Amino acid sequence: MKVLVTVKRVIDPYVKVRVKSDGTGVETANVKMAMNPFCEIAVEQAVRMKEAGIVTEIVAVSVGVPQCQETLRTAMAMGADRGILVETTAEVQPLGVAKLVKAIIDKEQPKLVIMGKQAIDDDSNQCGQMVSALLGWPQSAFTSAIAVNGDSADVTREIDGGLEKLTIKLPAVVTTDLRLNEPRYVTLPNIMKAKKKPLEVIKPEALGVDVAPRLKTLKVEEPPKRSAGVKVADVAELVAKLKNEARVI
């Protein structure tokens, strides 16, 4: 079966982001970018399913600036067969991304769509559920295990109190939790091979999708700073501070 995975280009998760002084957003100039970690897990899952003989083709999709081609090349170095970039320099919010991804799915007809549960820049946690709703397909959000059985899949989801098990009909949309797998590192030979894989670039207009933002960002600020704390010498001092100063115990 064919699988479609989505990959978002985000600020590297280990970079300390800085809010711009004019309050319009965060600093992205000369900042290290990377594939969203949950998307890496999505690609890894698809590649493992291909290695297991369940999946025949993996199509990776990204929405954004021309540099997202690098993110798609990374996905292809991990094992995706081809890439599609919906190229735009405009801001596309999760509903817009979901509509674009749906339009690609309509063309590609995959049997399974694997997306990250959350993009670590906007922290929206929406796109996968939205794509699934727009298609009228089942969803499994925050998935930590997938077993495909013919026309359905048994999935395990991470929920607040533990785990949940569902059987979903295929085609379906799955979003990845951290514990689904540990993504592989890309190797140099695979990076070289990925350069030769097909990468198609499309514009949102060509898909007939209106992606005008619905949310206007009025300002972006630093979170409130915590006041500086104090170092205590030992447990006795700690207990004294807790009882007499903080009064929390």
Partner 1 sequence: MSVLVIAEHDGKQLKPGTTNTVTAAAKIGGDITVLVAGHQCAEAAQAAAKVAGVKKVLLADAPQYAGAVAENMAALVLTIAGQYGHILAPATGFGKNFMPRVAALLDVQQISDISAVVSADTFVRPVYAGNAMATVQSADKVKVITVRATGFDVAAEGGSAAVENLAAAPDTGLSKFNGQELSKSDRPELTAARIIVSGGRGMQSRENFKILEALADKLGAAVGASRAAVDSGFVPNDYQVGQTGKIVAPELYIAVGISGAIQHLAGMKDSKVIIAINKDPEAPIFAVANYWLVEDLFKAVPELTQAL
Ligand X SMILES: Cc1cc2nc3c(=O)[nH]c(=O)nc-3n(C[C@H](O)[C@H](O)[C@H](O)COP(=O)(O)OP(=O)(O)OC[C@H]3O[C@@H](n4cnc5c(N)ncnc54)[C@H](O)[C@@H]3O)c2cc1C
Ligand Y SMILES: Nc1ncnc2c1ncn2[C@@H]1O[C@H](COP(=O)(O)O)[C@@H](O)[C@H]1O
The footprint of ligand Y (CB under 6 A) covers: 6-8, 36, 38-39, 62-64, 92, 94, 97, 115-116, 118-119, 122, 124-128
Site residues for partner 1, window 13-42 (CB under 8 A)? 13-14, 16-17, 19, 26
Could you tell me whether strands 162-169 and 152-159 are parallel, antiparallel, or unpaired per DSSP bridges? antiparallel
What are the angstrom distances between the C-alpha of 157 and each of 3, 20, 119, 134, 145? 20, 37, 18, 21, 7
63 binds, among partner 1, ligand Y, ligand X, none (CB under 5 to 8 A by kind): ligand Y
Instruction: Tell me: does residue 15 bind ligand X (CB under 6 A).
Output: no
C-beta of 9 vs 99, nearer to ligand X:
9
159 binds, among partner 1, ligand Y, ligand X, none (CB under 5 to 8 A by kind): partner 1
Binding mask 190-219 for ligand X (x = CB under 6 A): ------------------------------
Instruction: Tell me: does residue 217 bind partner 1 (CB under 8 A).
Output: yes
- Interface pick for ligand X out of 13, 23, 25, 198 (rule CB under 6 A): 13
236 binds, among partner 1, ligand Y, ligand X, none (CB under 5 to 8 A by kind): partner 1
Decide if 70 contacts 9 (C-beta within 8 A): yes
Could you tell me the end-to-end alpha-carbon distance of the chain, in angstroms, rounded to an integer? 58
Among candidates 91, 248, 112, 126, which has minimal Cα distance to 174?
A: 112
The residue range among 40-48, 60-68, 138-146, 194-202 that interacts with partner 1, by the rule CB under 8 A, is 138-146
Site residues for ligand X, window 116-135 (CB under 6 A)? 120
Tokens of 113: 């769509």
d(CA 162, CA 157) in angstroms, rounded, equals: 9
Backbone CA torsion sign across 62, 63, 69, 70: negative
C-beta of 71 vs 88, nearer to ligand X:
71
- Which DSSP string corresponds to 121-158? TT----HHHHHHHHHT--EEEEEEEEEEETTEEEEEEE
d(CA 127, CA 181) in angstroms, rounded, equals: 21
C-beta of 13 vs 198, nearer to partner 1:
13
1 binds, among ligand X, ligand Y, partner 1, none (CB under 5 to 8 A by kind): none
- Interface pick for ligand X out of 5, 37, 116, 174 (rule CB under 6 A): 37
The count of residues interacting with partner 1 (CB under 8 A) is 78
The count of residues interacting with ligand X (CB under 6 A) is 3
- Which DSSP string corresponds to 33-71? EEE-HHHHHHHHHHHHHHHTTS-SEEEEEEEESTTHHHH
Residue nearest to ligand X (CB): 37
Contacts of 21 (CB under 8 A, 6+ apart): none
